Amino acid sequence: ARRLLLVLGDQLDIRANALDRLDPERDAVVMTEAREEATYLRQHKKRLVLFFAAMRHFADELRARGFTVRYHAIDGEDPAATLAEGAARHPADEHHVTLPGDMRVRDALRDRFPGLVVHPDHHFLSTPAEFSDLREGRRRFILEDFYRAMRKKTGWLMDGDAPAGGRWNFDADNRKPFGRDGPGFTPGRPHSEPDEITRKVMRMVERLFPDAPGSTEGFAEPVTRRAALAHLRDFIDHRLPRFGDHQDAIATGHSTLWHSRLSTALNLKLVDPREVCAAAISAWANGHAPLNAVEGFVRQILGWREFVRGVYWAEMPGYAGLNALGADADLPGFFWTGDTVMACLADGLTQLLEEGYAHHIQRLMVMGLFAMLWGAHPYRVHEWHMELYLDAIDWVSLPNVLGMSQHGDGGIVGTKPYAASGAYISRMSDCCGGCRYDPRIATGPKACPFTTLYWDFLARHEARFRGNRRMAMQMANLSRKDDGELRDIRGAAESLRKRIA
Ligand code: FAD
Ligand code: SF4
């Protein structure tokens, strides 16, 4: 071929600018189900199915549009160990790729093809350069600063220069727990029935990766643009109206609640963030969904999703090595099995192992919180994340896990650690009622491990957090504990570590 375009598993956007430039007569696309990508970390079986099935469907779509596609299937006649090896099998004058979502992959491809043309990824609403420009010269640059700039740039939910509804942020309305009666009726998760191509991939994954975590059974993710658009519609119609109110709440046995479950489709680029936000905004304009829900949802995509990507490209490669809290422990083994008597963790982890999904507050305030209080190494927590979550790609997992949830970056993504005791989980969920522990107690047989580890965490890092204004209340509460009480708590934390690890 004259030009060879490498299309990676998270670049399945038929309208991508790099595809636009191809001449189907003379140029070609290469796609590789690289063994290295599937095995450099163990990966959830549903995650393997997601990527391979979506790639195979996309290759068919490209062929149907007249492109020449060189496809290296992992179980085919011409498999390739790495993405570069797949591409190198096909002589070409020029090699092209859209910016990969993982710096490791970009660098490996550049090493192999020194003239590689890396195209900007127009899927996103901002560019890495724009993020750096906005941040330049500011002492503080947090999500809210970036988000407001993006609202002004796009004009979304704007009333001239002012935010629609008079406020930039409706978070304060979006923290309602469910109360005694639980969530009541929930619409449930959207479901895509696997077609023959996907079913074949499911059988292949069970055969080739028998030891990978999870199961292929019950796979229901969208693997085509068409299915992803159906999932978007399902969310707008049935869940968006209540997305805001209970955004931070947890209910045992409910994985989806009013969340969109669009992260895999977005991250594989099956849907575009513009069409997703436009659908939500028009639901508000039509009176179908309230502003607190729509603003909350738009902020996740136009704000957080773009912000963490900005952090990734601005801070890498050094970012991956940050460990501000000097955390060095391994995650307890139950993170891979869900086998623990802590009810909140058992619920979140069981769901995760089953579906490859947990919603934001479970990630941040249950699994992530426990890992941080435990003192787990932040990069290892990110690797665990990459193994089990279907939506994890380096650019989005690393800042969320190492940064937001583990505070390993010392305050780049968030200005303070999301540290809390069992009392937070008790307030936002119904988990504690069914647990053998008591979230109010820090020592003794009924002590909630979150509460024990919370005080131990604050005490361990007292010198660091004392100067953080946003931690002032938590540190004042710590200083109210007398020496004896604190000694008992620290002793309890130590024996907990021995018992669980
Ligand atoms: P919804 O709650 O419906 O939110 C809507 C959309 O907003 C999501 O689909 C997602 O595209 C976007 N979004 C929301 N929050 C974020 C955020 N912090 N960063 C980026 N996008 C966001 N998201 C990923 O896509 N991949 C990850 O690997 C990932 N890892 C995370 C790890 C931790 C520890 C935490 C705290 C968050 C992580 N997130 C990640 C962000 C967020 O939790 C997920 O995007 C969300 O739970 C996906 O489910 P949903 O589609 O139902 O989201
Ligand atoms: Fe989780 Fe503690 Fe509540 Fe048990 S008591 S569910 S461990 S927060």
Residue range 115-157, pLDDT digits in tens:
999 999 999 999 999 999 999 999 889 999 999 999 999 999 9
Question: What are the pLDDT digits (tens) for 160-199?
Answer: 999 999 999 998 888 888 887 788 888 889 999 999 999 9
pLDDT at 180: 78
The residue whose C-alpha atom lies closest to atom 6 belonging to ligand 2 is 432
pLDDT at 173: 84
67 in contact with ligand 1, CB cutoff 6 A: no
The residue whose C-alpha atom lies closest to atom 7 belonging to ligand 2 is 342
Cβ contact 80:103 at 8 Å:
no
Say if 3-119 and 128-185+224-315 have the same CATH topology.
no
The two beta strands, 158-159 and 162-163, are antiparallel
Domain 333-500 has CATH 1.10.579.10: yes
Using the predicted structure, report yes or no on whether residue 342 has a pLDDT greater than 90. yes
| pTM of the predicted structure, to 2 decimals | 0.97
C-alpha 423 to ligand 2 mean position (Å)? 8
Give the distance from CA 50 to its chain's centroid.
15
**Rounded Cα distance, 446 and 86, in Å:** 56
The DSSP output letter for 376 is: B
C-alpha 391 to ligand 2 mean position (Å)? 27
Nearest-5° angle of CA 104, CA 109, CA 114? Answer: 130
pLDDT top residue among 174 and 109: 109
Q: Is the dihedral of CA 248, 254, 258, 263 positive or negative?
A: positive
267 in contact with ligand 1, CB cutoff 6 A: yes
Ligand 1, closest atom to CA 381?
Answer: 34
4 three-state secondary structure: strand
pLDDT confidence bin for 267, thresholds 50/70/90: very high
Domain 128-185+224-315, second-level architecture: Alpha Horseshoe (1.25)
Domain boundaries of the chain, sorted by first residue: 3-119, 128-185+224-315, 333-500
C-alpha 426 to ligand 2 mean position (Å)? 7
Percent of the chain with pLDDT over 90: 92
C-alpha 263 to ligand 2 mean position (Å)? 28
pLDDT at 23: 92
**Ligand 2, CB within 6 Å, residue ranges:** 342-344, 422, 425-426, 431-432, 435, 437, 439, 448-450
C-alpha 428 to ligand 2 mean position (Å)? 11
Q: Which residue has the tokens 């738009």?
A: 298
In 429-482, alpha helices (H)? 449-460, 462-465, 472-479
Q: What is the mean pLDDT of residues 394-422?
A: 97
The two beta strands, 3-6 and 162-163, are unpaired
**Rounded Cα distance, 452 and 373, in Å:** 9
225 in contact with ligand 1, CB cutoff 6 A: no
351 Cβ contact list (under 8 Å, min separation 6): 255, 357, 358, 362
pLDDT top residue among 172 and 70: 70
pLDDT confidence bin for 65, thresholds 50/70/90: very high
Cβ contact 435:348 at 8 Å:
no
CATH code for the structural domain at 3-119: 3.40.50.620
236 in contact with ligand 1, CB cutoff 6 A: no
Whole-number mean pLDDT of the chain? 96
pLDDT at 258: 94
The DSSP output letter for 246 is: T
Question: What are the pLDDT digits (tens) for 207-247?
Answer: 999 999 999 999 999 999 999 999 999 999 999 999 998 98
Using the predicted structure, report yes or no on whether residue 501 has a pLDDT greater than 80. no
pLDDT at 387: 98
Q: What is the mean pLDDT of residues 75-93?
A: 96
R_g of the chain computed on alpha carbons: 23
Q: What is the mean pLDDT of residues 330-355?
A: 97
Residue 115 CB: number of other CB atoms within 10 A?
Answer: 9
Q: What is the mean pLDDT of residues 422-449?
A: 96
Q: What is the mean pLDDT of residues 57-82?
A: 96
